[in-house]
Amino acid sequence: AHAAALRIDVSEVFGLGSGSTVNCLIESLAEQRSDIKGVVPASEETARLLKKHGIPVVDLNDVGTLSQYIDGADEVDHDLCCIKGRGAAMTNERVVCAASKKFICMIDESKYVDVLGSDAPVPIEVLVSAKSYISRQIVALGGSPVLRVGALTDSNHMIIDAYHLSLQDPVATEKALNNIPGVVGHGLFATQRPNVVMIGTSQGVKEKTQ
């Protein structure tokens, strides 16, 4: 997060995701940079923390294409496909990411994996009325759906965590999830891969690029 804060072009409005690593990044930005033009947050939590530090918050509807989008991930494979959404903001994160020219992802080395799904489920944001139907479709795809009890997204949708999905071909699984009616969004980022992954290791920050 500290290294990412130094490389961001703060003279242009950029996007930020959500989660513990992004929270650390915001702290670093507040300490190191005083000339931030504006940030489009992907969650209400991120917006609150930005405002707390006096960093200008910008609505995505009020800007055009963003220069950069910076976020963490739950897992990243060697092709830079990601699972995101442990913090329940994956749909808004996808929108802000799509509006950005460049996606920078920050992880520690424990999250850089050979095959996605080894530790993290795929979070799926669903319409309340469709949660049972979608759960059956996840089972049909070979997954094990678990409702995240008590969790709602910023848009007041429920979250189903899909364990054991086949992720040998993340792009195909992403398309299958996209085709389920009632799915609002999900955390499998296979077609929207980061341009750069910054990996925190005991030997310093390493980078992987597409």
Catalytic center residues: 93
Name the pairing type of β-strands 82-83 and 14-16.
Answer: unpaired
Residue with tokens 């995101």: 84
d(Cα 66, Cα 45) in Å, to the nearest integer? 20
- Give me the sheet containing 196-201, strands edge to edge: 39-41, 14-16, 69-72, 103-108, 196-201, 204-209
User: Is the Cβ–Cβ distance between 134 and 126 less than 8 Å?
Assistant: yes
d(Cα 73, Cα 199) in Å, to the nearest integer? 11
- 142 Rama class: left (phi>0) / alpha (psi -120 to 50) / beta: left
